[in-house]
Amino acid sequence: MSFGTLNWALTLTTLAVIQAGLMLVVLLCASLSSLRLLKFSCLLILLGNALALYFMDTYGVVLDRDMMGNVFNTNAREAMETLHPRLLLYMAVFLVLPGILIVELNIQKISLLKHALGIAATLFFATTWLYANASNWLWIDKHAKQLGALMLPWSYVVNTVRHFDQQAAKNRQQILLPPAQFHPPAPMNNKRIVVLVIGEAARAKNFSHYGYGRNTNAYTQSGLLAVMQNTRSCATYTTQSLACMLSHQGASVSTQHNYETLPSYLHRHGVSVIWRSNNWGEPSMKTTLYEKLEDIQKNCPPQECANHGFDEILLHGLVQKISASDNTRFLIVLHQTGSHGPAYHTKYPPEFERFKPVCRSVQLSDCSNESIVNAYDNTIVYTDYILSRLITLLQELKNSSSVMMYVSDHGESLGEYGLYLHGTPNSIAPDVQRDIPFLVWMSKNFQQERGLGNNTVQRGTAHSHDHIFHSVMGALGVRSAIYKADLDVFHP
């Protein structure tokens, strides 16, 4: 549709009629109960709209169901990182000033008949207009999903309801997956260990391993890792991405059938499952040991954990836990805070600030693109260091064959097309929010047992979160009716 044409003007007016009509009907219905409820409803809408406009304008977010899921799965610490004094300006203009007008407004109570006539007149006018401009409905219907995520307050109200409806479906009793067997059996006194490192907001474009011009992977030199090409996330926000990679259904995971997740499945079959998290958004699961950042911090003396609040602490005491266990099979998941924005400069210790200057504001539009990218690249350098340290720890374990897989939950926008952060709906998300790194390391014992090498493992031309579930099963030697060899990167 061409800008400035008659059709463009009529379509824009039609959208305004829909918006105004819905709002008027809702407010008329609210006033039926009480005028206080009417004013309170207006103030709540103003508050919601002010917050929504701030984030939409500042970070280019779209408030669809997925984004509302992202909002409700963001903890207080990360939420505070997105705040900026400019938010006060939005509150003053879109909440305080109109709020004072609403509070002071003298609203007269009208009869039930007049209420009914007002609602009827609104519906009649809106219906007549929509009917007269029916030719514009094709365009509106085609872009309904995007429009619905932009129209306030309906975007965040309706999509909040949709999000919690989806969550309620997920919380239904889990359906157990079919029985599993171990093949091949682990050699006597040999521990088989799979460490899955789940990155946060890391995009493949900024990894040296994927051809980036900067050396962001100095700690894990090429040849040490198998670099899996063309890996796509199933979503642009953490909760859904985790659901995908921990489900045997992968990207087709559905709330209609709440199947057992990978950690629960392996735990039920005797695998020692340790989940350590400096993040959130994990699905319902059963583990042998679940530790949040604060749990690890309690048992980590300052002299051993100088960088207490950073992802490196996820490695503390890991080797000791494996060595102390009598089990022979382990799945260890390390869920990073990684490269979560907008406060990238807070995600790594000062000694990892390799690229300068860095953006130190959560108002990313106030920073130069260079400083934003510098801060973001420093988070990748720090992640690379952690992976290198983890590999060294695994190499020190005696009588073991081990595998490390690193995969990000989604990518990140750093100002491309005016977008920042992540969470844009898949249908319109730029590639940088979905093209992710997928790196694999195998111990010499594991390679010899399987007859594998880096070239064998990275033979695939396209990968996704769908590979994670089946590759973990493959690495641990777990087989069942739901195992898919074509999605197992370790299948010879």
Where are the domains positioned within the chain? 6-170, 181-487
Contact indicator for 46, 103 with CB cutoff of 8 Å? no
Written as tens digits, the pLDDT of the chain (492 aa) is 455 566 667 777 777 777 777 777 777 777 777 777 778 888 888 888 888 888 888 877 777 776 777 777 666 666 677 677 888 888 888 889 888 888 888 877 777 787 678 778 877 877 777 666 655 554 665 555 566 667 778 777 777 777 776 666 656 678 999 999 998 665 556 899 999 999 999 999 999 999 999 999 999 987 889 999 999 999 998 999 999 999 999 999 876 678 999 999 999 999 999 999 999 888 889 999 999 988 998 888 877 776 677 999 999 999 999 999 999 999 999 999 999 988 899 999 999 999 999 999 877 878 999 999 999 999 999 999 999 999 999 999 989 999 999 999 999 999 998 888 888 888 888 999 999 999 999 999 999 999 999 989 988 889 999 999 999 999 999 999 999 999 999 998
User: Radius of gyration of the chain from Cα atoms?
Assistant: 26
Report the distance separating Cα 102 and Cα 235, nearest Å.
41
Per-residue confidence (pLDDT) for residue 42, from 0 to 100: 84
Per-residue confidence (pLDDT) for residue 421, from 0 to 100: 87
Instruction: Identify the DSSP state of 426.
Output: T
Residue among 262, 235, 243, 242 at smallest CA distance from 170: 243
Residue among 335, 212, 355 at smallest CA distance from 278: 335
CA distances from 286 to 270, 283, 290 (A): 12, 10, 9
Residue among 280, 294, 284, 295 at smallest CA distance from 76: 280
Per-residue confidence (pLDDT) for residue 133, from 0 to 100: 65
- 190-200 burial: b if 16+ Cβ within 10 Å, else e: ebbbbbbbbbb
Q: In what order do the strands lie in the sheet with 272-277?
A: 226-227, 438-442, 400-408, 191-199, 329-335, 272-277, 289-292
Per-residue confidence (pLDDT) for residue 3, from 0 to 100: 54
Which residues on neighbouring strands pair with residue 218, listed in sequence order? none
Read off the pTM.
Answer: 0.74
Instruction: Write down the number of H helices and E strands in the chain.
Output: 18, 13
Structure tokens at 203: 């995009």
Which residues on neighbouring strands pair with residue 274, listed in sequence order? 289, 332
CATH number of 181-487: 3.40.720.10
Residue among 381, 476, 422 at smallest CA distance from 73: 422
Per-residue confidence (pLDDT) for residue 214, from 0 to 100: 97
